[in-house]
Every structure is written in C-alpha cells, then in structure tokens.
Structure 1
Amino acid sequence: MDRVIRRRAAAAAVAALVLPLAAACGSSDDNGKKADSGASASASGKAPAADLTVLAAASLTDVFKTAGDTYMKENPGTKVKFSFAGSQDLVAQVKQGAPADVLVTADTKTMDSAKSEVGPQTVIAKNRLVIVTQKGNPDHVGSLKDLANPKLSVVLAAPSVPVGNYAAQVLKKQHVTVHPKSEETDVRSVLTKVETSADAGIVYKTDAATAPGKVDTVTIPDSQNAVASYPAAAIKDSKQSAAAQAFVKWLSTPEAQSILQKAGFQQP
C-alpha cells in the first residue's frame, strides 16, 4: 500500500518533466492499463509493443531524442517518452515510486543508490569534462587553475549532481579551490548560466557541443580529467518489464552506439 501511495505522489512530478518525442506518442488508456511483460511483439518483431517512459540524465537530452526516434521507427507499436533531469532527482523519483520503465544516469554511484529499485546495470556510454566560457573567452581562461581567479564568476553543478561530483574530483586533484557563484541542479543549467551571465563553468564535452557559437570550450587534459560512465537499467516496478529490458539492450547495439558517438560520447 505504501508503494501505491508513493507512486501516486510521484506521478505528478514525472508528468511535468516528460517530453513526448512525437505527437503520436500516447500513454496508457484512461484506466491506466499498460502492456505487461508478456506484451505481443511489435510489427517488426524486434521488441514488445509498449508505451515506455525513460528517466534520463540531462546531458542525454539531445542524443536520446534522436535515439528515441530511431528506436520507434525500428519498432512500430512502441512509443518512447523521456523525462530529463539531474540524475539525483531522477533516482529520487524512482525511490518515491514514480511510474517509469527505464533509468539512465550519468554515473554509477547515483545508479547504485537505486539498486533495490532497478535491475542489472549496463554502461552504455562514457563522457569527459570541459571548461566552457563566455563566447570569445574574454577572460582568457586556459586551464582549471584559472578558475580559482576570484574575479571570475564561475558556475558549477552541485556536488550531489554527477557532473558536479566529477568537477569536484578534478579540481581537488589539481589543488584548485573554486568558490562558485551558484551550484546548479543539472549540467544544462550550468551551460545556460555560462551562455547568459557567468564567466565560466565545467560541463560535459557533449553538452558544450550543443551550444556552438554560444560558448567557447577549453579542453581539460586527459591526465587531469574524469571519465563519466552512463549506466542504464530497467526499473523493477515497470509494468512493461520485457519492453524496458529490450530498450536497455538496444542502447548497446551498433546502431545506438553510432548515434551516441556521433554526439561526442565515448564507447562504454
């Protein structure tokens, strides 16, 4: 009964975040019925037909929209909706019983905190950090050490956010102390702040690539960098277990990997 109460309480939060990939992307019927794990195969025979809700890290926003379109074309009868946010917020929703089918986070630590709510994890991609600055890099930021300049307005993600945790690791490794102007709840918020007001920030390489002409990018050498791993897992409470597992499995296929790597993600 507690599980049902938590699920109802979390449903509204997820509904506000879910972004349909296409106008045709529907949900379950008015009685809340969904295909169960024994759902019939789609017309392509590749995956059970289902309406899937995927909770995914904010840094996957652009690439997963492309991946989702591809998956739906390959599997007529399957519809995919995404809810993008900071990984820590997504895990909190899962723990509250949010009605979702798949979870993809930007680090294994955050996914591990939901071990009792998800099935086996599969790392589907990796990523690295970069420094982003105002367009033209007017403050001539060239390295992590430059971020310690008290005259700079630096924005980071909060330590509870995967990218914020990674940033804290690399800064500590280089003995650099930064007093951020703000600590954001996800990587896209950091990027937006640098585009509009802050002097610099630390984001994933793939996020910087989504803002050409809006920010400048400063590479962090591999010897000073951190590697972000993206695990995916089906949610145990999903009423569409087979379809959820099929989507997680597909994320490791050559076609899905090609989409991820074209967006700048590294092989898992």
Structure 2
Amino acid sequence: QALRACEIMNELGIPRNDMTLHFLSRGAAQQYKQLKRAARLTQLPPDWPGYRPEVCFIGRTNSGKSAMINALFSSLTKVAPSSKTRAWTRKLDFYEVNRDRAGLPQFMLVDTPGLGHADVKAEVTRSWPDLIYGYLSKREALKHVFHLVDARNKKLLPADKQLLHLLAKAQRRDVRYTIVITKIDVVKRSVANNTAKAIKKELGEFFDVDIMFASARSLRGLDQLWSEIWRSVTETPRGRRHLNLGAKELRRLQLEGITKGDSVQEV
C-alpha cells in the first residue's frame, strides 16, 4: 500500500518529502535485525527452499552499501555498521526482515564486503572475492543483486568490473541484476546522469542493464529501490518475479572486456 501510494504520487506529480519516504520504509520493513555475520560459506544461514528469499548489495568499497541498508530501514540507530573508514564491512552480513509480521514478505537483505581497497592489508581482503563468488553462485535463496556504484567515480572502476566477472562466472540466469548509482546528493544531476550513460555504454553490448539512482542521505530514489526489492521477494501483478541476468553475455564480458551501449533514463 505504501509503495502504491508513492506510485500514485509520482503519477500525479506530487513531490515526496523525507516524511513520506520514512513512512514508506517503516511500512515495508516493520521488523528487522542482523541475523548472521558469515566470514565463510559454511557459516551462512539455512538456504532456500523453505527459507526466506534474499536480495544482496555488492559494490566497490565505500560505495554506500551499508548506508543504503540503514536508509531502507529508516532506523534512528544504525542497523548495518558503516564508517568513512574503507572496507568496514568484512563479512557477509544477513539482515532478517519482517520475520514475525503476518501479511508482509519475509526476506533477507545481505551486505557484502567492498572490493578495491588499496589501504587494507592483502591478507585481510584475499578471501573476499571467493566469499562473494561462493555466495552468488551457490545461494538458492538469492533473487536480486543490487550493484552500488558511487556517482563520483563517473564510471565503472576495476573493482566494479571484478564484481561483474564474479557474476558472469556464477552463471545465475534466475537472478535479477540492477546497478544503483549512489551518492547522487553530493554531485550535480548532470554528473549522475552522465555516470549512468557511461555505464550503459560500457555494458550495452553484453546485456540490457537496469540502472536506477538512490541516495542514502537525501532518501531520493528509495521508493523505487523498495519497489524493486518488493517485486523480487514477492509475486506481484507487475512483471515477472525473476528476470535473466544474461549469463552468456556476462561470460563474453569476462572474456572480452567491456565496451559499448545505449541510452539511460535520467535521474
């Protein structure tokens, strides 16, 4: 109902303020807690079937994954630990949502370690790509991967391309994939739009990538992000529940690199 209200406001051109988005988040995630921190695949919670569907956030270090989770929960206290210190998230963090709320989807939000951290010791980060790949490739409960990209970077950086290679290797045809341009509150609108266009151009040869914009600070785009999460963890009248990731195209990306593309909807 809260999501539909935001859709109606958008259709009528009614602006949404912080309070609107706060009530949206409180309605979508009425109960949440950190369930598990897993440094190894053997420490993961029970998997699908018979368990809750999952959506995960991946991205380069300090792309805003943990901050976005806190914004989605609209909590006065940080549920997902975050810091300006690089590589703060060093395990797979599982957040249980709506466990005891009848009538609401019960699901997991999963935070992952950020890659591309030159100032963190190699012995600390060496296992992270394998941990992320193992989760992406084997987790049956996984329904949607949100790849967060900092708008200030203006393009995909090597760590982002490494994550794309892990996705290609995982060959998950049943998992949706969306790029989220983050930190749009600290750049000009033209910079955010040009970042999205540059990414679309790089990836367009390989698959038709979905790109959206969101800010954990201003809460802009949070309604669309919630809508995408909702559609992935529930059956809805709109669209298919699972869209193809494009494994064949991503395998080509892995082998050939990243080149051209087309247009993108602007923020």
TM-score (norm 2): 0.30
Structure with greater proportional strand content: 1
- Whichever of the two has the greater Rg, that structure is 1
TM-score (norm 1): 0.30
Structure with bigger RCO (C-alpha 8 Å, 6+ apart) = 1
